[in-house]
Amino acid sequence: MNMVLLTQNVSRRFKDIEALKGVSLDVAAGEKVALLGHNGAGKTTLFRVILGFLRADDGHVCINGQPPGSRLARRDVSYLPEAVAFPKMLTGREIVSFYAKLKNADADEVGSALEKVDLAEAADRRCGGYSKGMRQRLGLAQAIVGNPKLMLLDEPTSGLDPISRQRFYELIGEIAGRGTAVLLSSHGLSELELKTDRVAILRKGEVVANGSLAELQRSANLPIRIRVRSNSDHVESVHSRLGGERVNGESVEFDCPRPDKMDRLSVISQLGKAVSDVDISSPSLDEVYRYFSSDDADRGDAT
Amino acid sequence: MSAVLTIAGTEIRIGVRNRWVLLASIILLVFALLLALLGSAPSGATKADSLSVVVASLSTLSVYLVPLIALLLSFDAIAGEIDRGTLQLTLATPVSRGQVLFGKFVGHVVVLSLAVVLGYGVAGAIVFAAAQNTGMDGIFDLARVISTSLALGATFVAIGYVASVSVRQTGTAAALAVAIWLFTVVLYDLALLGGLLASADGFFAKTLFPYLLVINPADAFRVFNMAAIDAAASTGLAAGGNAMPFLPQLAIISPFVWMVIALGLSTAILRRVQP
């Protein structure tokens, strides 16, 4: 595969804090990768190393064959920082046009970028009057211009309403479809809404998971939850057979390791009329994320 | 070059829209007219060109106001962009850090020029129209004080960048800019005066003082303009101009030297800044 971004064993220390510890993460052309982690997990530091703003203490970073921060690398990268406040006196069009000129992009790209982020109507208004979501979309518009080979988006969906977020991921899909490698950071798995090809999770500067969502779910190997509905007459005997907790005086709930699922279900079916319904829920994306990103979890290797 | 012009153009647009140019022009105009009004009394008794007399006052006004306006314009240039997160965006594009700083410099100098030309120009036009004894001499004097004010302003824009690239917070940069103004325009002269009083005929007054005077770009500006108007004898510090060990016209080199030093230094520091 044509890897646009290569990072190998990147480490970076700030005084006594190890912000990045041997991070290796590649992104191929046309691939959408989400970088997850709590605040302070090292996401922004990694972006800053890739952009060449910070030098890695150790390891190797390469953007389309160029060292980070070099003129050629900067020509290929576009960036949207987490918090950016554009000059209030300028219009949306003037701001996008400013960055387009710095990137030597065509002037025609400005209008089409503003249209793509649904800012065409507001483009000639001063951005001081924009809502938070509009400012975020303006940031995205400046990131689109210049036909970048690698897009780095630091928490791009924070502050967006669900519809804008949906539209945002559609747009990312289109951009990646044209061959741009996209690396975006986010706070939680559920927010990603299954819109990226791969998910990498950073915890205290280390990559603790790197794979598709299905792979992550499999390797987390979290128990499924089974809820058995009975009635007030039989709930006691159901509880004594299955264990777990009683809920609402009529139901019993318990966790079950994935391999044991069929065995448990056959035990439940033997209970006959004492059981009126069964619900099985897989671990949510938030639970999978919590599993990988929490401090005390006993993790398997998901990479 | 196009990146420099793009950045300069954006600075000019912001300067005009946030009413910087208007406000600075009005301040300069009001002070210039006040001085013209106060200065009209002596000029009535002399043969001097009315406008030339006003210009003498304007050069003293410039020493205080132009560096202040220039520093207020430039202290935010880099620290403010770090604060707002826009510097990361700009530096992620292929533009070089030197181009960013030089583009801002060109833009800020144009903004300052608009304010000085408008403020002093309108004040000069009013005096020219109102007074009887005005001629080409006065217009030349006005043109000289405007152009040297721009040189002084550009120097302090560049010095403001040194403050702006040295700190990460806008507030700190502002405090640093005010300190620079206070030192170069007020305290430095007081210290020199103190030195003169302490050794009126000694080594300090005769040998050191003229050089120490022109090392400060604001004082060098004053020495140059006072010498040019030939009114040096009547004005405080520059009275030393008659006994200078060098041609007082050479004093104007000082702001330009400082401009180059400040631009070089701020570019060098900016290259090390992590946005």
- The counts of H helices and E strands in chain A are 11, 13
Find the domain containing A252 and state its range: 223-282
A299 within some domain: no
One domain, residues A90 and A209: yes
Across chain A, mean pLDDT equals 88
A30 within some domain: yes
Residue A119: give its domain's CATH number. Answer: 3.40.50.300
Greater pLDDT, B217 or B202: B217
Check CB contact of A142 with chain B, cutoff 8 Å. yes
A301 within some domain: no
Supply the pLDDT for residue B135: 76
One domain, residues A116 and A263: no
> Complex ipTM, two decimals?
0.87
Q: How confident is the model at residue B217 (pLDDT cuts 50, 70, 90)?
A: very high
Mean pLDDT (10-residue bins), chain A, 303 residues: 89 90 93 89 92 93 92 93 89 96 92 92 93 89 92 87 84 91 84 79 90 83 88 86 85 88 89 88 82 64 43
Picking from A219, A208, A189, A181, the residue whose alpha carbon sits closest to that of residue A33 is A181
- The whole-angstrom distance between residue B67's C-alpha and the CA centroid of its chain comes to 4
A300 within some domain: no
Kindly determine whether residue B14 and residue A89, on different chains, have CB atoms separated by under 8 Å.
Answer: yes
Q: How confident is the model at residue B231 (pLDDT cuts 50, 70, 90)?
A: very low
Please name the member of B10, B92, B94 whose beta carbon is closest to the beta carbon of A98: B10
Tens of pLDDT, residues B34-51: 888 876 655 554 556 677
Which A positions 103-132 lie with beta carbon below 8 A of chain B?
103-104
Find the domain containing B264 and state its range: 2-272
Please name the member of A80, A81, A99 whose beta carbon is closest to the beta carbon of B93: A99
Mutate to test the interface with B, among A12, A82, A102 (most CBs of B within 10 A): A102
Structural contact between residues B58 and B155, judged by C-beta atoms closer than 8 angstroms: no
Say how many domains are in chain B. 1
Long-range residue pairs from A156-159, CB within 8 A, at least 24 positions apart, any chain: A156/A80, A156/A184, A157/A186, A157/A191, A158/A82, A158/A187, A159/A132, A159/A133
E strands, chain A, in order: 3-14, 17-28, 32-36, 58-63, 77-80, 150-153, 181-186, 198-203, 206-211, 224-229, 245-247, 251-256, 277-281
Residue A265: give its domain's CATH number. Answer: 3.30.70
| A227-243 residues labelled b (16+ CB within 10 A) or e (exposed) | ebbbeeebbeebbeebe
Distance CA A114, CA A122 (A): 9
Kindly determine whether residue A87 and residue B10, on different chains, have CB atoms separated by under 8 Å.
Answer: yes
One domain, residues A204 and A246: no
Structural contact between residues A251 and A228, judged by C-beta atoms closer than 8 angstroms: yes
Supply the pLDDT for residue B28: 93
Distance CA B161, CA B140 (A): 32
Say how many domains are in chain A. 2
Which distant-in-sequence residues (6+ apart) come within 8 Å of A252 by Cβ?
A227, A228, A230, A235, A238, A239, A242, A244, A245, A246
Contacts of A104 in chain B (CB under 8 A): 94
